[in-house]
Structure 1
Amino acid sequence: MGSHRRLAPSGFDRGAAAALCVMSAAAAALGAAPADAAPHGGTKAEVDRLYQQAEKATEAYDKAGERAHTLRRQINDAQDRIARQQQRVNTMREQLGSVAGAQYRSGGIDPTVALLFADDPADYLDKASTLDRIGAQQAGQLKELRSALRDLSQERAEAAGKLAELEKSRKDVSTHKRAVEKKLAKARQLINSMPAAERAAYERASRGGTRDLPDLTGVVAPDARAAAAVAAARSALGRPYVWGANGPSGFDCSGLMQWSYAHSGIHLPRTSQEQRHAGRRVPLSQAQPGDLVVYRSDASHVGMYVGHGQVIHAPYPGAAVRYDPVGMMPISSVTRP
């Protein structure tokens, strides 16, 4: 890829800027096939539309999956806290029970302690505080037990709420998965319906990521973290787009960004909608290698700027991770993690 020297302050060389100026506003989100063998415009446009919808559903799938993962972790933590709190309650009850045993051996059980064995401990706690025979030590123990039981009840209620939310997230994951699979299956049917020459041209365009590599001579990342992220993204060139995947053998668009930046010690959120807020916004004219370029008004696609007007991204199913012009589709923002 040639030697690497520092970028001009603008982030683009004049050649790249000129190229951006003449880019067609109708540049396809999935890249263009050779002009002499382009697929039928209507069919390709419909395939592109389906892939865009599938990508949006994939982002929703990723978000629901990440939420489910977070909830599972929170539920595990809550279960640990509940177990510890239950042990604390059990210990306190044992201590109060020993008082009951001592009173029984000395001639009877104090009514305040006898209530420990009532069917409704909450009712016991409410009544115990009003009894006039309670001792100071027992009063402190009863107050502490009341607080512990309330904390335990609250923990259980919160855990139950998270379990319900987790179930909803699981259903959301399943719903989005079906939506993605439906869109992809329809797109594949359309591609298969193309005449052989047009289909071959489309497939060649999809595999274009490892051929005709752009000249990035003189490009260098602004710092070590960005350099590590760019190097990781470059190492992924040629690996397949796999919806819902974040490496290392396959990626969706935001999964590639998350995986690449993990190599620099930075944890990005899972979806492109969240990644656009994962740093400082910069103008496109000041883009530097490692910046995240977020596309479309709904932020449903993301790539990594690597210099000279090029991004690396995971385009769509059937296509490998590849280079494409930064202006390949409408840009909504540029973020510097």
Structure 2
Amino acid sequence: MASHRRPKQPSRARVTVLTTAAAAAVALGSQTANAAPSEKPSKDEVKSKVDALYVEAEKATEKYNGAKEDQEKLEKEISTLQDNVARGQDELNELRENIGLAASAQYRSGGIDSSLQLFLSADPDDYLDKASTLDQLSAQQVDALKKIQDKQRALAQQRQEASTKLESLADTRETLSKKKNEVKAKLAEAQKLLNSLTAAEKAALEEEESRATRASERTALEAQTGSGGGGSVAPASGRASSAYAAAQSVIGSPYVYGASGPSSFDCSGLTSWAYAQAGMSIPRTSQAQANAGQRIYSQSDLKVGDLVIFYGDLHHVGFYAGNGQVLHAPRTGTVVRYESINNMPYQFGVRI
């Protein structure tokens, strides 16, 4: 006989859950179908992002340069200290040998001075603190023992100083490594963005930069020769003129972070190298170069060869080239070239 039992109905809670899930699925599908595909950034948007990354990379580069300069300074100081310690130890050994020879001579002659005997069996510092024994020593022995005492103290101080500087050197090397990695990360991110451009877009960007560079070069040369009708611009000084001429001689050299010539440069590497060619040493980093001379706050007072400092944290530097132009090493992917001073936030000039 056929069953007349009613089929089991789903519970109201189950129906509600299934209905809600179905509605959500429909809504999600609708959103997916209607969502616009992510738009590829335009050439100008990519350039803007890349420029911002290059600014960050250069900030890290100048900190890298500072850490590198600190490392080199510490290494020289440690080397000098270690040389002094080695030389001092030799001198101390010689002094001890001489006083030992004196003791041997006394012994052979029939006995050894009790005070000298005390010295040979104890620390000289402790010995010399006992003033009652000084009258038992000859003036020559007193002088020799004092020299030994002074030498031991100097050596102990130099060893401690060298130890402290070695610890500072380890910290500096760690900072150097971190900043180097930071620069590399920023540059890799910038390159990834540039790789998203088409060949035509890349060519257009390069042409824009090339056109701007040619215009800046013409304007700067007009200022220096007076061919533009406004008269020539006098250099800041003979030394500044020589440094600027050295920078002009390497126009077209590639920008490489941390480089200071003679075939590649970063911004402060170019300016410090150029002044070295003019026979003058200036600090390595842009922040330190900002304090290397008289500050010139008005652009109208700048002269050819003045250093020009950019950005609030002073992380970029170049040479003033006249007529509102600078000669500098801009960033990775470029070369030493002329550029408008208004392309970056001007802070002040520095006349050395």
Look up the match of 2:320: 305
Q: CA RMSD in A?
A: 2.2
Distance 1:223 1:124, change over 3 A: closer
Alignment of 1:209-228 (within 5 A): 211-212=214-215, 213-215=217-219, 216-217=221-222, 218=226, 219=232, 220-228=234-242
Look up the match of 2:18: none
Question: For residues 257 and 45 of structure 1, what CA distance do their matches in structure 2 show?
Answer: 27
> Would you say 1:203 and 2:206 are equivalent positions?
yes
8 Å CA contact 1:78, 1:155 repeated in 2: yes
Q: How many angstroms does 1:324 deviate by?
A: 0.6
> Would you say 1:265 and 2:267 are equivalent positions?
no
Distance 1:172 1:122, change over 3 A: farther
Q: How many angstroms does 1:308 deviate by?
A: 1.1
SS of alignment partner, residue 87 of structure 1: helix
Alignment of 1:247-266 (within 5 A): 247-266=261-280
TM-score by length of 2: 0.78
Give the % identical residues: 43
| Mean CA deviation greater in 87-96 or 311-320 | 87-96
Question: For residues 329 and 124 of structure 2, what CA distance do their matches in structure 1 show?
Answer: 58
Alignment of 1:1-337 (within 5 A): 40-118=43-121, 121=123, 124-125=126-127, 129-131=131-133, 134-137=136-139, 138-205=141-208, 211-212=214-215, 213-215=217-219, 216-217=221-222, 218=226, 219=232, 220-282=234-296, 283-337=298-352
Question: For residues 201 and 89 of structure 2, what CA distance do their matches in structure 1 show?
Answer: 68
8 Å CA contact 2:304, 2:321 repeated in 1: yes
Distance 1:105 1:246, change over 3 A: same
Q: How many angstroms does 1:121 deviate by?
A: 2.9
SS of alignment partner, residue 214 of structure 1: helix
Look up the match of 2:3: none
Question: For residues 133 and 230 of structure 1, what CA distance do their matches in structure 2 show?
Answer: 70
SS of alignment partner, residue 136 of structure 2: coil
Runs of at least 4 residues of structure 1 off by over 4 A? 126-130, 205-210
Question: For residues 52 and 330 of structure 2, what CA distance do their matches in structure 1 show?
Answer: 13
Bigger relative contact order, structure 1 or 2, given CA contacts below 8 A and separation 6+? 1
Look up the match of 1:20: none
1:263-309: CA deviation from partner (whole Å, max 9, x where unpaired): 22121110000111111111321000001110000001111101111
Distance 1:284 1:172, change over 3 A: same
8 Å CA contact 1:268, 1:275 repeated in 2: yes
Distance 1:239 1:154, change over 3 A: same
Question: For residues 226 and 123 of structure 1, what CA distance do their matches in structure 2 show?
Answer: 57
SS of alignment partner, residue 343 of structure 2: coil
Question: For residues 116 and 132 of structure 1, what CA distance do their matches in structure 2 show?
Answer: 11
Q: How many residues align?
A: 299
Q: How many angstroms does 1:199 deviate by?
A: 2.3
Question: For residues 198 and 254 of structure 2, what CA distance do their matches in structure 1 show?
Answer: 24
Q: Which residue type is aligned with residue 218 of structure 2?
A: P
8 Å CA contact 2:92, 2:148 repeated in 1: yes
Question: For residues 236 and 291 of structure 2, what CA distance do their matches in structure 1 show?
Answer: 20
Gaps of 5+ in 2: 1-40, 227-231
Larger Rg: 2
SS of alignment partner, residue 323 of structure 1: strand
Question: For residues 177 and 209 of structure 1, what CA distance do their matches in structure 2 show?
Answer: 31
Question: For residues 142 and 340 of structure 2, what CA distance do their matches in structure 1 show?
Answer: 74
Q: Which residue type is aligned with residue 285 of structure 1?
A: S
Gaps of 5+ in 1: 1-37
